[in-house]
Structure 1
Amino acid sequence: MKRQLAKNETSSSVISIVPTEGARSCWDKLSRSTLSAPVIALVAAILGLQLFAARFSETVGGAWDRDLLLRLNSFAATDSLYVWELANNSLFRGFPIFFSILALWFAGDDRERRSRMLTGFVAVCLATVLSVWTQFHFATHIRPLLDPALPLNVADPRWSLDWDRRDSFPSDTSTLFFALATLILIENRLVGLLCFLWVAVIIAVPRVIFGWHYPSDVAGSLVLGPACVLLFYATPYPRALFERMLIRLRDHMYIVHALLFIFLSDASMLFVSLQKLGKDLVRLLGWPH
């Protein structure tokens, strides 16, 4: 009799813990409905932040922006062109960033850390796309080296010959690298701070010195890149999604590593191939751009 009662109690407890198929489907629907709100809020927050930054740069970025640009540009000259070539060399400027990312990725088989990093990579892509999109669709200010009214020292006159984006806010290169530095900072504070310093000195400031961007363009990228990464990190759904993906691919991690290599190789070249593919698709489909 006691055995029968114990068996009944065990079976009833199992039934109470394990949901039925109907309950599980209801739970899935509820999860999707509750998770959609944070995702929508995340996208709206990023777009709103970028719109505000563009309008702020357009209205406030006036005399101080121009004065600081000219002051920094006074250091540019024809004989300093090697400085620009070094700062714009993909291997030199990107080595500390991509080395740190790969070191963090392969520092043990930590699924949670890798899911966070994958979430950060998506945020980096979104931040870069938004920065390029803003240059096309928001008339903030013309790129300094294309503005004949500015008395700039242009180290190479060929820079002003061929441009498809005449507006320069924000700096898409700085956005990309500030976002990657934020990703590193979240995983390792000391290395992340050093990467932030590297991006500011080696990548961002030279783009102002040589007239490619206004200081407000770099300030906008310093807001946009880290904000996208931090907002994505604050939303649990992307991390949970990538963690489930890593669990399913635990016996085929070479696929993930190969995709990571492709992502980092294109990111090191500022997603030039991806940008060209997007432009070709826009022309092919006849969409306005």
Structure 2
Amino acid sequence: MIELLQGLDRWLLVAANSRHWHWLDSLMVFLSERFVWFPAYFVMVVVLGYYLQRRALIALPLLGIVIALADSISSRLFKPYFARLRPCHDPELSATLNLVHGCGGQFGFLSSHAANSFALAVFLCIILPRRFRIAKIILFVWAVLISYSRIYLGAHYPSDVAAGATLGSLLAWLAAMAYERLAVRVPVKVSKIHSNA
């Protein structure tokens, strides 16, 4: 059974990595670059501060904590413990992959990109009211695309990404539950938060 799952993992990786176009290569490299998202994060912080008002003083630290936990647990706990080589470092596989953006660290289980992006997306999707449904869809699609880019670039197996997304989502859910408990103690203007919620 384990061999069957490993074979499926490799097959999905090769299927995603083998279809390359120049414009898609550039897009996937862009999606994988963490620093290019800083302006978007700044705008997000400003928007959250405006709509959540004083509750932003709870939400933003929790968001920072959940992302830091997702990154630390994936990078400092899972990767060294499982010591699973990235596909691009696997001598049996690397020669067959299209590596357009280097390879990264030696170990890949689980994906920090997936853990971090899903931690952010799931946390915000839970705490924001229904009026933000379009923003929630965009956040979820963004997290999926970042995670897929890691497979496309040969940096992670699909199972690395799935595990990272699961970790990030679980941590986000726990943080969102903490936010809900703390936020009820902080009153806000009805017109901003609860309208159409």
Normalised to the residue count of structure 2, the TM-score between the two structures is: 0.74
User: Is residue 93 of structure 2 the alignment partner of residue 153 of structure 1?
Assistant: no
Q: Map 1:270-289 onto structure 2 (within 5 A).
A: none
Note if contact 1:80-1:155 (Cα within 8 Å) is conserved in structure 2: no
Letter in 2 for 1:142: L
> What's the counterpart of residue 177 of structure 1?
117
> What's the counterpart of residue 125 of structure 1?
68
Q: Map 1:236-247 onto structure 2 (within 5 A).
A: 239=182
SS at match of 2:98: coil
User: Is residue 167 of structure 2 the alignment partner of residue 227 of structure 1?
Assistant: no
Note if contact 2:58-2:179 (Cα within 8 Å) is conserved in structure 1: no
Note if contact 1:119-1:232 (Cα within 8 Å) is conserved in structure 2: yes
Q: Map 1:1-16 onto structure 2 (within 5 A).
A: none
- Give the one of 9, 13, 17 matched to 1:73: 17
> What's the counterpart of residue 104 of structure 1?
48
> What's the counterpart of residue 34 of structure 1?
none
Inter-CA distance 219–59: structure 2 relative to 1 (3 Å threshold): farther
> What's the counterpart of residue 85 of structure 1?
29
CA drift of 1:181 comes to: 1.2
Note if contact 1:97-1:195 (Cα within 8 Å) is conserved in structure 2: no
Note if contact 2:87-2:154 (Cα within 8 Å) is conserved in structure 1: yes
Deviations 1:35-90 (A, max 9, x none): xxxxxxxxxxxxxxxxxxxxxxx887411111000000112477864334322344
Note if contact 2:62-2:179 (Cα within 8 Å) is conserved in structure 1: no
- Give the one of 108, 116, 136 matched to 1:192: 136
Deviations 1:191-217 (A, max 9, x none): 12211102212x111110110001111
Larger CA deviation: 113-122 vs 169-178 = 113-122
SS at match of 1:222: helix
Letter in 2 for 1:63: G
Inter-CA distance 94–222: structure 2 relative to 1 (3 Å threshold): farther
Q: What is the Cα-based RMSD across aligned positions, in Å?
A: 3.1
* Greater RCO, CA 8 A, separation 6+: 2
Q: How many Å separate the matches in 2 of 1:60 and 1:122? A: 37
Note if contact 1:131-1:170 (Cα within 8 Å) is conserved in structure 2: yes
> What's the counterpart of residue 167 of structure 1?
107
Query: Which runs of no fewer than 5 residues in structure 1 stay unpaired?
Result: 1-57, 244-289
CA drift of 1:237 comes to: 10
Note if contact 1:204-1:218 (Cα within 8 Å) is conserved in structure 2: yes
Note if contact 1:100-1:191 (Cα within 8 Å) is conserved in structure 2: no
CA drift of 1:153 comes to: 1.9
Q: How many Å separate the matches in 1 of 2:73 and 2:80? A: 10
Query: Which runs of no fewer than 5 residues in structure 2 stay unpaired?
Result: 187-197
Inter-CA distance 226–60: structure 2 relative to 1 (3 Å threshold): farther
> What's the counterpart of residue 283 of structure 1?
none
Q: How many Å separate the matches in 2 of 1:166 and 1:135? A: 9
Inter-CA distance 146–229: structure 2 relative to 1 (3 Å threshold): same
Note if contact 1:233-1:239 (Cα within 8 Å) is conserved in structure 2: no
Q: Map 1:124-143 onto structure 2 (within 5 A).
A: 124-133=67-76, 134-139=78-83, 141-143=84-86
Note if contact 2:28-2:152 (Cα within 8 Å) is conserved in structure 1: no
